[in-house]
């Protein structure tokens, strides 16, 4: 009893330890998933920002590179424009990005000019519906925007140059009021017509392959109206987004060649050393039609003096964050959303982790159960040896006593000798039957049992079994009722083995008949199977014992306490014979009323 409690405590302790490990594992995996979620969202947003930065930089270069003053347009001097065009084509990755250039003077009566690639000059162009739309849009200063994304056009204002400033004077905050600044007048607009096919089929696909080429994320670009510009996503979930076609750069770098910069320097009267380097200026963007209280922006201006190709760097910080951009890049995880993917990953990891813990728990329980079962089987085997020894001892004692009497001359008359001979024969047959039963069980368990399957009539099998048990039934004065259906199908089986199975059922019913002198044997056709039943009015079997009575060596506590002899092999042999024939055996019983054992054997063809 003490060992059982120790075992139970050990199992409980192991299961509790596994439960604690499960809690720790859940917390750890949840924390790891949360950290990974933050990192993954940060990574995808960074990739989206880089995508947008590269795209916007390409558009900005195509826009700001052609920013010139109005003097060259007034004088029809196209050299500065051509220099910038050649420089842009040399530096850009997509020379075919720009289709055409058009120039519109501020005077609405002036005809538009188109850049002629052959003469490298702007020449008058015929007005078309597209050009009329462009002129109408750029003429409305209140709603003017530099990007017309629906017609793939950039509008660059050309301003007349005002008085040049050689110095920057910073006024103290509490100084006198100053005259309000105004934007210089516009001389006209340069319309840069972009190639839609290049943007859709080259620029955007190249950037998508560069930053999201592994297929983990879907990439889409849409306009403000919700139309798809490039690809599409499923649903509304988005894991990252970034503004596109934003011409207000965060870090705009305008490279110029030495010739252009030298021409600018030659007009300056101030030494290069007089230029303030790495200065910060708080400025206000002046836009016609907007109040002066616009959002502040910060620029950092740097001029390098190392003799290398000059670089002017403008670092801009704006409060609007590019929210007014015409297009938006949207990134979505291939599973629908990054959160859904991470949640699925967490569930998989938890399922795997808890599955391993459950497997460990099941292994512990299985080991304990196997040990308990092995212990039970060992005890049953001990009980079996004890029962068999007792079963053998009784007939052996009878045989020994009869033989001793014959040897001592106690029985001299022919009648007495004959009775002693019958007694010895009967007990010897009983011993032989028990030995055969043990050998059959051993052969069946080892798999060496051979069956002789032939066409068999079940009525003959039942008759054989009743004939073999006749002496037992007559000795106990058992009344046997038989009910064998006349139209039973033939079966393919071992006649001797099946007869032995029925004999075991009959002997079992007689042994536990509790003094009742009634027994019923029946055979019927049931659903393609032949059902052979043996029914008694004995002590019955409890529900708990019904689940185990066909196990080897099993004998119920009620039977053992009643000192009813047996070895626990009979019903086990019946089950093995039934399985060998593709059938089964089962029992129904009520305590104190009786039991019914049914052997089912498939008919031919089933």
* Torsion angles phi and psi, residue 563, rounded to 5: 55, 40
pLDDT over 90 percentage in the chain: 28
Would you state the pLDDT for residue 261? 44
> Token pair 């462009």 is at which residue?
134
Q: Which residues make Cβ contacts (< 8 Å) with residue 87, sequence separation at least 6?
A: 65, 255, 256, 257, 260
Helices assigned H by DSSP within 257-309: 258-267
Name which of 524, 522, 523 is nearest 480 in CA terms: 522
What DSSP string describes 210-239? HHHTTSSEEEEEEETTS-EEE---SSS--S
Would you state the pLDDT for residue 58? 92
Would you state the pLDDT for residue 175? 58
Domain ranges of the chain: 38-160+184-336, 450-606
Task: Give tens-digit pLDDT for 472-487.
Answer: 888 888 899 999 988 8
Q: Could you tell me the two tokens for 395?
A: 């007939």
Task: Give tens-digit pLDDT for 307-337.
Answer: 444 444 444 434 344 457 899 999 998 888 8
Would you state the pLDDT for residue 176? 60
Over range 558-567, report the average pLDDT. Answer: 72
With a cut of 60, say whether residue 285 has pLDDT above it.
Answer: no
d(C-alpha 544, C-alpha 548), whole Å: 8
Would you state the pLDDT for residue 361? 86
Name which of 223, 227, 219 is nearest 203 in CA terms: 219
| Among the four given CATH numbers 3.40.47.10, 3.30.565.10, 3.20.20.80, 3.30.870.10, the one describing domain 450-606 | 3.30.565.10
With a cut of 50, say whether residue 275 has pLDDT above it.
Answer: no
Instruction: Please state, rounded to an integer, the average pLDDT across all residues of the chain.
Output: 80
Would you state the pLDDT for residue 548? 85
With a cut of 50, say whether residue 274 has pLDDT above it.
Answer: no
Task: Give tens-digit pLDDT for 86-114.
Answer: 999 999 999 999 999 999 998 888 899 99
The helix/strand count (H/E) of the chain reads as: 15, 21
Would you state the pLDDT for residue 256? 45
- Report helix, strand or coil for 192: strand
**DSSP state for residue 557 in the 8-state scheme:** H
Q: pTM here? A: 0.56
Would you state the pLDDT for residue 3? 58
Would you state the pLDDT for residue 314? 44
């Amino acid at each position: 009893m003490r060992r059982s409690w120790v075992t139970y405590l050990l199992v409980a302790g192991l299961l509790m330890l596994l439960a604690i490990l499960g809690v720790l594992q859940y917390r750890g995996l949840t924390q790891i998933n949360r950290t990974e979620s933050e990192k993954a969202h940060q990574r995808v947003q960074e990739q989206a920002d880089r995508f947008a930065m590269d795209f916007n930089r390409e558009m900005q270069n195509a826009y700001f590179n052609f920013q010139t003053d109005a003097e060259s347009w007034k004088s029809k001097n196209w050299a500065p424009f051509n220099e910038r065009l050649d420089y842009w084509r040399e530096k850009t990755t997509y020379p075919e990005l720009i289709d055409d250039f058009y120039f519109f003077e501020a005077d609405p009566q002036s005809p538009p000019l188109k850049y002629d690639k052959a003469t490298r000059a702007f020449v008058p162009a015929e007005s078309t519906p597209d050009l009329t739309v462009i002129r109408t849009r750029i003429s409305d200063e209140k709603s003017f925007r530099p990007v017309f994304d629906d017609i793939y056009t950039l509008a660059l204002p050309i301003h007349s140059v005002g008085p040049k400033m050689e110095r920057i004077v910073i006024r103290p905050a509490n100084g006198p009021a100053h005259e309000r600044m105004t934007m210089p007048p516009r001389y006209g607009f340069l319309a840069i017509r972009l190639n839609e096919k290049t943007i859709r089929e080259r620029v955007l696909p190249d950037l998508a392959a560069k930053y999201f080429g592994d297929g983990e994320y879907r990439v889409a670009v849409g306009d403000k109206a919700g139309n798809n510009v490039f690809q599409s996503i499923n649903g509304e979930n988005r894991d990252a987004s970034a503004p596109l076609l934003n011409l207000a750069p965060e870090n705009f770098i305008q490279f110029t060649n030495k010739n252009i910069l030298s021409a600018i320097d030659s007009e300056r009267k101030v030494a290069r050393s007089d230029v303030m380097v790495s200065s910060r200026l708080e400025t206000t963007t002046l836009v016609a039609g907007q109040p002066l209280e616009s959002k502040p922006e910060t620029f950092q201006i740097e001029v390098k003096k190392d003799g290398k190709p000059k670089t002017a760097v403008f670092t801009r910080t704006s409060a609007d964050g590019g929210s007014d951009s015409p297009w938006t890049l949207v990134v979505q995880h291939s599973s629908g959303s990054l959160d859904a993917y991470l949640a699925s990953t967490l569930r998989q990891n938890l399922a795997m982790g808890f599955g391993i813990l459950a497997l460990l728990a099941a292994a512990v329980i299985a080991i304990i159960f196997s040990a308990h079962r092995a212990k039970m089987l060992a005890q049953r085997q001990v009980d079996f040896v004890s029962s068999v020894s007792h079963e053998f001892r009784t007939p052996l004692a009878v045989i020994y006593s009869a033989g001793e009497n014959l040897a001592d001359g106690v029985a001299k008359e022919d009648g007495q000798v004959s009775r002693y001979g019958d007694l010895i024969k009967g007990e010897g047959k009983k011993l032989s039957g028990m030995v055969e039963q043990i050998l059959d069980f051993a052969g069946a368990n080892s798999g060496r049992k051979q069956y002789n399957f032939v066409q068999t009539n079940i009525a003959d099998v039942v008759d054989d079994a009743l004939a073999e048990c006749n002496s037992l039934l007559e000795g106990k004065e058992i009344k046997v009722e038989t009910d064998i259906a006349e139209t039973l199908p033939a079966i393919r089986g071992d006649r001797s083995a099946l007869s032995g199975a029925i004999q075991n059922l009959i002997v079992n019913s007689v042994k536990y008949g509790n003094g009742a002198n009634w027994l019923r044997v029946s055979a019927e056709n049931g659903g393609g199977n032949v059902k052979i039943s043996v029914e008694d009015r004995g002590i019955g079997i409890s529900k708990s014992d019904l689940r185990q009575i066909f196990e080897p060596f099993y004998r119920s506590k009620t039977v053992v306490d009643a000192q009813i002899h047996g070895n626990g092999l009979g019903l086990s042999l019946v089950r093995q014979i039934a399985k060998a024939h593709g059938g089964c055996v089962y029992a129904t019983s009520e305590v104190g009323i009786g039991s019914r054992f049914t052997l089912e054997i498939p008919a031919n063809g089933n």
